[in-house]
Amino acid sequence: MIIIHRKTGKKFYIEDKDKDFNTHFGIIKKEDLNKEPGSIIKSHLNEEFLILEDNFNDLVRYLKRGPQSIHEKDIGLLYSLVNISPGMKIVEGGTGSGILTSYLANSVRPNGKVYSYEIREDFYNIAKKNLEKLKLLDYVELKLKNINEGIDEKDIDLIILDIPDPWNTLDHAYNSLKFGGYLVSFLPNITSVLKLLYSNDKFLLIGVYENFYRKWIYEKGKVLRPRNLELVHTEFIVLFRKV
């Protein structure tokens, strides 16, 4: 469940409605937290909140993070570049906290599958708990394995690599993808992008992308302005296709 502070628009995720919830806008009683979505409730400081049902995007924002995750703006670009839809079989190299994994699993269900490879057990455990919280674990096979040692699955629609050395996965990816399938690599710097491009002699390069993002702030009755501290570069996206 989500509650929104009516004056500021700040959102809070309520995981346990059987306990009072403490915010810097005051304490909200558990009796109020159990009211119907759409209800307006007040803290002990008389600050008003609106109750909303949570959705997938709300829940993902409150998942536990371990390693740095793919940013939402780049996940959005990924979805515009490749057709991620129900029934697809996707391989992911570098599960991390399972944030991108969650988006993928939510998209391929009910009859698709995400096979996600991770070499660190601590990240694997974080991702597993996050997927369990979202009730998406049935659509994901988590694998504690280095994807550079081989990909077990065949006839895959899409392979996504969020690892530091994707050039070591190219042969495995080519053998695993079906004809027409996509390979996507997220990389932090242009040096790594160039090394990946120089190493490729099998895939058709579709493009190299960098996505910029700017949020604007509206101060009611005053001004509409860009946010002062903005997130610009996060990663490069390299897109290949098996043809």
pLDDT tens digit string along 89-122? 999 999 999 999 999 999 999 999 999 999 999 9
How many Cβ atoms sit within 10 Å of the Cβ of residue 39? Answer: 14
Instruction: Give me the architecture of the 59-241 domain, per CATH.
Output: 3-Layer(aba) Sandwich (3.40)
pTM of the model: 0.86
> pLDDT class for 190, splitting at 50, 70, 90?
very high
| DSSP letter string, 161-210 | E-SS-GGGSHHHHHHHEEEEEEEEEEESSHHHHHHHHHH-SSSEEEEEEE
How many angstroms separate the Cα of 223 from the Cα of each of 8, 10, 216? 16, 19, 10
At residue 150, the pLDDT reads 97
Of 148, 143, 81, nearest to 114 by C-alpha is: 143
Q: Give the residue carrying structure tokens 């993002």.
A: 213
Residues tagged in the binding site annotation for S-adenosyl-L-methionine = 97-100, 118, 162
Q: Domain residue spans in the chain?
A: 2-54, 59-241
Mean pLDDT (the chain) is 93
Residues tagged in the binding site annotation = 97-100, 118, 162
Sign of CA dihedral 137, 124, 232, 181: negative
At residue 230, the pLDDT reads 66
At residue 169, the pLDDT reads 98
pLDDT tens per residue, range 15-74: 888 999 999 999 999 999 999 999 999 999 999 999 999 889 888 888 888 877 888 889
Strand partners, 111: none
pLDDT tens per residue, range 194-223: 999 999 999 999 999 998 888 888 877 888
At residue 76, the pLDDT reads 92
User: Was domain 2-54 assigned CATH 3.40.190.10?
Assistant: no
Give yes or no for residue 84 having a pLDDT over 90: yes
Contacts for 85 with CB less than 8 Å, ≥ 6 apart: 107, 108
Q: Residue 137 in contact with residue 131, Cβ under 8 Å?
A: yes
Exposure on the CB side of residue 225, measured as CA atoms within 13 A:
8
Contacts for 112 with CB less than 8 Å, ≥ 6 apart: 86, 87, 88, 89, 90, 139
Give yes or no for residue 232 having a pLDDT over 80: no
Q: Give the residue carrying structure tokens 């006839």.
A: 155
